[in-house]
Amino acid sequence: MLTDRSRRVREARKLRRRAAREKAGLFLAEGPQAVREALGESLGPRPGLVVEIFAAVSTAARHTGLLDHAAGAGVTVQLADDAALASLSETVTPQGLVAVCRLLTVPLTEALGSAPELVAVLVEVRDPGNAGTVIRCADAAGADAVIIAGDSVDPHGGKCVRASAGSLFHLPVVAGVPPAEAVRALRDRGMSVLAAEGAGATDLDGAEDEGLLSRPTAWLFGNEASGLCADVLALADRVVRIPIHGRAESLNVATAAAVCLYASARARRRARPSGVS
C-alpha cells in the first residue's frame, strides 16, 4: 500500500501546482463524482483520459463497483493510506479518491466547431471556484464551449475541478487564448458577442425582448473585482447589464453568468419550433 512518501504519490502531489500540471500534461480530479465522470469519458469518447486512480483503503470499499470497472478497463488503481490521499487533496475533508487525468483543454477551433450556438468566455477571472461554477452553469444551460481567456485561472486546479461538479468533463474548455483572438473566432462563426457588465447600455430583459438572444451568442464575463476592461468591452457587439431591482451594486460573476446564460437558453428554446424541448 502506498504512503505519502511513495514515489507515485509524490509525483502526483506535484500536480497540485499549475506549472507541474502544464509540464506533465496531467491534473488531479478528486472525489467519487469527478472520478466517475473522468472514467466515463476515458472509457468512452476520450480513451486514455484517466492515467491512474489513487484510492484510500478506507474509501475503496464504498466504491468497489467504480474501481473494479476502472481496473477491468486497464486503468491502474493504487491503494494508499489516508495520509497519502490527504496529501493529494486540496479540500479540508479529503474524499479518499483521486484520478490522475490528462489535461482537458482543447484548441479554440476544435472547441467551437463550425456553428456554435452558446459560448461562455471568462476574461481575467481569478477565483477557481467562480471559474468552475461558470463551467457548471454553462453546461447546464447547454453551452457548446467555455473559453477561459487572458490571464485567468487554470481550469485544472483542484478548486475549479470541484466547483465544476463534473462539468469540466462535459463540454470543451479552452484556456489561455487572448480575448481578441477568441472574439474574432466567435464572430467568424456568426455569433453575437455580448459583454456582461453592470454599466451596460442594453438591459438584459430588453435584449431578450428585441430577439437579440435568439441568435447564436457568446457571453463575455469579467474579473471579480474590476469587471471587463475597456479594450475587451470594445470588442463586444453590445454591453448588457443585468437589471438591479434592489440596492445591490452588482451580482458576483458566477451568478451573473447563470442569469445571462439562462436568458440565452430560454430565448433559444422559445425560438425553436414548438414541441422541441
The yes or no reply on residue 215 touching a copy of itself (CB under 8 A) is no
Least Cβ distance, residue 185 to a copy of itself (angstroms)? 21
Q: Is residue 2 within the footprint of a copy of itself (CB under 8 A)?
A: no
Query: Are the CB atoms for 141 and 174 separated by under 8 Å?
Result: no
Per rule CB under 8 A, is residue 243 in the interface with a copy of itself? yes
Residue 275 binding a copy of itself, by CB under 8 A: no
**Are the CB atoms for 268 and 211 separated by under 8 Å?**
no
Residue 170 binding a copy of itself, by CB under 8 A? yes
Our CA dihedral for 194, 103, 58, 85, rounded to 10 degrees, sits at: -100
Q: Which stretch binds a copy of itself (CB under 8 A): 4-12, 174-182, 187-195, 236-244?
A: 236-244
Interface with a copy of itself includes 213 (CB under 8 A)?
Answer: no
Q: Could you say which DSSP state residue 224 is in?
A: T
Q: Specify the residue, 188 or 249, whose C-beta has the smaller distance to a copy of itself.
A: 249
Closest to a copy of itself by CB, 156 vs 170, is 170
DSSP 273: P
List the helix and strand counts (H, then E) for the chain.
13, 11
**Among the listed residues 12, 123, 171, 177, the single contact to a copy of itself using CB under 8 A:** 171
What b/e sequence results for 159-180 when a residue is b if at least 16 CB atoms lie within 10 Å of its CB, and e otherwise? Answer: bbbbbbbbbbbbbbbbbebebe
CB of 164 to a copy of itself, least distance (A): 9
- Can residue 136 be called a binding residue for a copy of itself (CB under 8 A)? yes
**Residue 171, beta-bridge partner list:** none
Residue 1 beta carbon to a copy of itself: minimum distance, rounded to whole angstroms: 30
Dist. CA 144–CA 77, nearest whole Å = 33
What's the one-letter identity of residue 134? V
Measured CA to CA, the distance from residue 120 to residue 139 in angstroms comes to 10
Considering only 92, 199, 225, 248, the residue that binds a copy of itself (CB under 8 A) is 248
| 244: contact with a copy of itself by CB under 8 A | yes
Q: Is 165 in the site for a copy of itself (CB under 8 A)?
A: yes
Cell of residue 228, nine digits: 471587463
242 scored as a contact of a copy of itself (CB under 8 A): yes
Residues 6+ apart with CB under 8 A from 197: 222, 227, 228, 233, 239, 240, 241
Q: Of 150 and 172, which has the nearer Cβ to a copy of itself?
A: 172
Query: Which of 53, 75, 143, 148 touches a copy of itself (CB under 8 A)?
Result: 143
| Residues engaged in binding a copy of itself (CB under 8 A) | 133, 136-143, 163, 165-167, 170-171, 205, 242-252, 254-259, 262, 265-266, 269-270, 277
